[in-house]
């Protein structure tokens, strides 16, 4: 990684980048609701992270810097790209996926439970709940997890 990129990341409060299958993932240590998080990642020419295999699960679970995430009890929550519009990924362009990967799910037992709101988005808790997912109302402000890939048809 070059120095300029590291400087930009330091200045904007981003974490170190981790990669899997040629994609780069990073936590943004600045809380945003789901819509804002999605917009933020897309403005960086990426999208909210798609978690489509165990390698990515482990990377996200293990690379989050919890010291940067604390603000109250239950702080350690991060938005990934899955949302309850038929439970699909923010990165919906299927050319990015291998067979079966769009269906990869790692819910915490009992989840998704459709939260307590009509709009439900997916958060992971790095280091907690084994990194497994919970559906929550999209208006909560959590830390976005972005990836550096972006599809053609954004909606």
Ligand X SMILES: *[C@@H]1O[C@H](CO)[C@@H](O)[C@H](O)[C@H]1NC(C)=O
How far is residue 146's CA from residue 1's CA, in Å, rounded to a whole number? 17
User: Exposed, middle or buried by CB within 10 Å (0-12, 13-18, 19+), for 129?
Assistant: middle
Region binding ligand X by CB under 6 A among candidate stretches 16-24, 29-37, 88-96, 109-117: 29-37
Stretch that binds ligand X, among 14-22, 54-62, 82-90, 93-101 (CB under 6 A): 54-62
19, 62, 65, 94: residue in contact with ligand X (rule CB under 6 A): 62
User: Which ranges of the chain does DSSP label H, i.e. alpha helix?
Assistant: 3-12, 34-43, 54-63
Q: Which of 57, 123, 124, 136 binds ligand X (CB under 6 A)?
A: 57
| β partners of residue 26 | 146
Binding site for ligand X (CB under 6 A): 33-36, 57-58, 61-62, 119, 127, 130-131, 138-139
């Amino acid at each position: 990684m070059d120095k300029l990129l590291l400087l930009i990341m330091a200045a904007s409060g981003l974490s170190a980048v981790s990669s899997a299958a040629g994609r780069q993932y990073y936590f943004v240590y600045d809380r945003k609701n789901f819509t804002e998080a999605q917009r933020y990642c897309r403005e960086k020419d990426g999208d909210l992270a798609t978690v489509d295999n165990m390698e990515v699960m482990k990377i996200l679970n293990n690379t989050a810097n919890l010291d940067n995430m604390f603000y109250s009890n239950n702080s350690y929550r991060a938005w990934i790209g899955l949302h309850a519009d038929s439970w699909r990924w923010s990165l919906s362009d299927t050319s990015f996926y291998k067979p079966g990967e769009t269906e990869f799910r790692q819910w915490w037992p009992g989840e998704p439970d459709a939260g307590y709101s009509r709009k439900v988005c997916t958060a992971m808790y790095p280091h907690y709940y084994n990194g497994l997912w919970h559906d929550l109302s999209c208006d909560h402000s959590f830390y976005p997890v972005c990836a550096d890939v972006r599809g053609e048809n954004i909606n």
